[in-house]
Amino acid sequence: MSQLLQLSAPWWVFVLRAIAVYVMVMVMVRMSGKRAVGQFTPFDLVLLILIGNAVQNGLNGGDNSLSGALLLAGTLIVLNYAVAYFTSRFRKVEHIIEGVPKVLARNGTVFHDVLRSELVSLDDFHEALRMNNVADPEQVALALLETNGSISVVLSDAGGAERAEKYVQRLPQRSLHRRRRRPGSPQAD
């Protein structure tokens, strides 16, 4: 019975391991992009299971005690609560952890370079339009890739253009699409 509760290392080693693995996995998930978080495919589910299995030994360091498992679980819950607390209180922290919405289309123009950089296929974009009863991208006043990976669409008709402009004014500057011009190109002037 005592082996179930006896830790193989000091308690603070478990806490440090949990913090390190939590931060590392959070950074990797954040780098994978919004689309990967919002649209799980069977391949994403397999990847998630494999990541959980891969980091398990990094978390527990070979310790199979009940106290070690409870200590790790408690630390991860506290870390998750802390992240939620700080992202809800500080906008800058929220933007770092969760990212910002990205403009995929505006006033009927689809920004293909943003779709590519955010790993959203044209088929996925058109699927989002269909789900919002949009037949043609020219009907779109604003299409946003939200921080949770979903695509929000505002139609141009029935006051949608005015609503879209209000949304755009509230977006962080990083959300807005800016065309990059090469020096010396005719459009750069």
Per-residue confidence (pLDDT) for residue 178, from 0 to 100: 56
Dihedral Cα 118, 124, 125, 128, nearest 10 deg: -120
Contact 87, 93 (CB under 8 A): yes
Per-residue confidence (pLDDT) for residue 187, from 0 to 100: 45
Per-residue confidence (pLDDT) for residue 50, from 0 to 100: 84
Where exactly are the structural domains of the chain?
2-98, 102-178
pTM over 0.75: no
Per-residue confidence (pLDDT) for residue 38, from 0 to 100: 53
Report mean pLDDT in 10-residue bins for the chain, 189 residues.
Answer: 80 92 86 61 77 84 87 92 94 88 92 90 92 91 89 86 83 67 46
Per-residue confidence (pLDDT) for residue 104, from 0 to 100: 93
Per-residue confidence (pLDDT) for residue 86, from 0 to 100: 95
114: three-class secondary structure by DSSP: helix
Per-residue confidence (pLDDT) for residue 179, from 0 to 100: 53
CATH superfamily of 102-178: bsu07140 like domains (3.30.240.20)
Entry field: residues in the chain: 189
Calculate the CA 23 to chain-centre distance: 14
